[in-house]
Amino acid sequence: MRDDAQPVIRLRPKTDVRAIRHGFPWIYADQAVTDRRTRAIAPGSFAVLEDAERQPLALVTVNPESKIIARVMDRDPAARIDADWLEGRLSRALAMRVRLYDQPFYRLIHAEADGLPGVIIDRFGDLAVIQPNAAWADRMAAEIAEAVVRVTGVGTVILNGSGRARGLEGLGERAEVLIGSAPATPIEVPMNGAIYMADVMGGQKTGLFYDQRPNHAFASRLAEGARVLDVFSHVGGFGLAALAGGAVQATCVDGSAPALELAAQGAAAMGAADRLTTRKGDAFAQMEALAAEGARFDLVVCDPPAFAPSKQALEAGLRAYERVARLAAPLVAPGGYLGLCSCSHAADLTAFRTASARGIGRGGRQAALIHTGQAGPDHPVLPQLAETGYLKALFFRLDG
């Protein structure tokens, strides 16, 4: 909740306010007047955003310790961020997911695109995991959890406070059960006919990546009767989807032994344990080793971590994506398929596609692009904020 005496944050003169009026949700530190009073505002507090002429624009949350000094909470400067406000945003998000998915396994809140800045909430049946990546959400985590329970009816809410985004906000790592009790075993998550195992307490991020769901489905269509290689597999994302699609064999490569164990458990839950093999190790080294062994696969998919998480890392990141394509292409059997993915928002689709095509060529192969994918509709994109449309998936047919 906010105080009646609301702080004010003001834009600098000559700052173009049109982007903010048209939906851009962030105000950077160099766009705001950062005087002593502004710097004294506690991170996560709410304030009224004014233009240089002192005209109210919106209600924002302020964090003087972040390069994003303010995030738009509500276009109404008089809005009150309380239980009713939270439930309204959550109810709107839930209504869309219920239309889209037959089972309660999805991303419930995708940050700014769902009107809750810096907040990620993934739902796993009767359990929800919150990632509060903004100071206001970290401060109000208990209130958000209570609203999630009232709106969705879940019995358990877990806070997973880790990752790069929290560091940029000046937030430390934290993990705790906010409501209910932690599950004793990984949660079975059905998607695209496969079963994934989500470790919501000790796994990466919230325990599972829902964003690749439509791309898993596309890969599954290519997998019938195929030998499949899933590189950077995490808990078996593309590998298990391929098994569900009728692959005769899938190999998952990842550097994490716990992730590969969860992949094996998922395959067992599907009755496909005998069709899954795993290889633990550095993905680049493993692709080189497979090439030396003469291994060939009908479908190879590489879904690496974000090699270009910022503009400063873009050049090196694109070189890494090119290297992935160069090493993966020779592993594809003639007439087979290669899927390449990027979750780096700094690398746009054109740059990623160019790096991928260059890598395939350097790998000695010719390719035709047959499909371009993105995250599923439970990861809506805010048109004004490119960061919400971070995921790209390219599928090529390799002829030569």
Q: Could you tell me which of 230, 198, 382, 253 has the C-alpha nearest to residue 300?
A: 230
| pLDDT score at 105 | 98
Q: Is 252 a catalytic residue?
A: no
| CA dist., res. 299 & res. 387, Å (int) | 29
- Identify the active-site residue in 252, 302, 341, 343: 343
pLDDT exceeds cutoff 80 at 396: yes
| pLDDT score at 162 | 85
Q: Is 306 helix (H, G, I), strand (E, B) or coil?
A: coil
Amino acid at 235: V
CATH number for the domain formed by residue range(s) 83-179: 3.30.750.80
In the predicted model, what is the mean pLDDT of the chain? 95
Return the domain boundaries, the chain: 8-74, 83-179, 188-398
Written as six digits, the tokens of 72 are: 């738009």
Query: Taking the complete model, does pTM exceed 0.85, yes or no?
Result: yes
Q: 386 or 243, which is more confident?
A: 243
pLDDT band for position 1 (50/70/90)?
very low
pLDDT per residue over 110-133, tens digit each?
999 999 999 999 999 999 999 999
Q: What share of the chain is helix, strand, coil (3-state, %, to 5)?
A: 35, 30, 35
pLDDT (average), residues 135-158: 98
Torsional class of 287: left (φ above 0), alpha (ψ -120 to 50), beta (otherwise): alpha
DSSP 171-205: ---EEEEEES---SSPEEEEETTEEEEE-TTTSST
pLDDT (average), residues 343-368: 96
- State which fold the 8-74 domain adopts: 2.30.130
pLDDT band for position 218 (50/70/90)?
very high
Same fold, 8-74 and 83-179: no
| pLDDT score at 2 | 41
First to last CA, the chain: 62
CATH number for the domain formed by residue range(s) 188-398: 3.40.50.150
